[in-house]
Amino acid sequence: MSGRRGRIPKSRPRAHRDHRRRGVAGRDEPLVLERLVPYRIAVLANLLTLGAAQPLARRFSLATREWRIVAVLGEGPPVSSAELARRIGAGERRTSRAVANLVRRGLADRRPEAFDARRMLVELSRKGRALYRRAVAHALAQERALLAALTPVERRTLGAVLAKLQREAVAMLERAAGPATEGEDA
């Protein structure tokens, strides 16, 4: 013990630590990134986005975020940039820049809300609606090609599972945010 007293044992470098997570039965399991559901969903989403974005960019000169905005505007009434950001899952600044680009290109228009002129709503222009119809046909063809790999039962199951995971992800996000504090909008 001489010379070693009071020494704190060296821990392994972070990169060499055995990362573990708790399993269903409470046992430690090694973390295998390729099996982690959020990781797999993120990778799939990136692959699908790249697969959709490149043809949309070539055919319609639309960036991914612009296409998402066009899709949201094409399926519903005019909305604010903040609502667009929420619906496409992007930041308000980037969404606002994408909207400005669509307006500059004549694909979207901004107009004041009827009951609050300070609030601007975004809607597709006539040119934007025509582009939306063409782009939707392309997007639906891509979806059909992707889903052709699944049986009808698998497609229904996938839809139900995705909806359930999305609801739980929203609930987790709300729980993480915590309750609204006094003076904050709930």
Boundaries of domain holding 110 = 34-174
Alpha carbon distance 120, 80 (integer Å): 6
pLDDT at position 17 over 70: no
Q: Does residue 105 lie in a domain region? A: yes
For residue 151, is it left (φ>0), alpha (ψ between -120 and 50) or beta? beta
Using the predicted structure, report yes or no on whether residue 6 has a pLDDT greater than 70. no
74 near 124, Cβ under 8 Å?
yes
Does the residue 63 lie in any domain? Answer: yes
pLDDT mean over 20-45: 77
Residue 103 has pLDDT above 90, yes or no: yes
What's residue 30's pLDDT?
Answer: 84
105 Cβ contact partners less than 8 Å away, ≥ 6 residues apart = none
Would the pLDDT of 71 be above 50? yes
- Residue 181 domain-assigned (yes or no): no
Model-level pTM? Answer: 0.66
Identify whether 12 is part of a domain: no
In a domain, 49, yes or no: yes
Could you tell me if residue 148 is inside a domain? Answer: yes
Domain count, the chain: 1
Distance CA 21, CA 32 (A): 10
Structure tokens at 53: 């974005």
- Between 22-31, 114-123, 129-138, 149-158, the lowest mean confidence (pLDDT) is in 22-31
**CATH classification at residue 99:** 1.10.10.10
99 vs 111: CA distance, rounded Å:
13
Residue 162 lies in a domain: yes
76-96 pLDDT, tens digit per residue, is: 999 999 999 999 988 999 999
- 129 in a domain, yes or no? yes
Identify the CA nearest to 105 among candidates 63, 141, 138: 63
Reported as half-sphere exposure (CB side, CA atoms, 13 A), residue 116 has a value of 6
What whole-number distance in Å separates Cα of residue 94 and Cα of residue 65? 8
User: Does residue 51 contact residue 142 with C-beta atoms inside 8 Å?
Assistant: yes
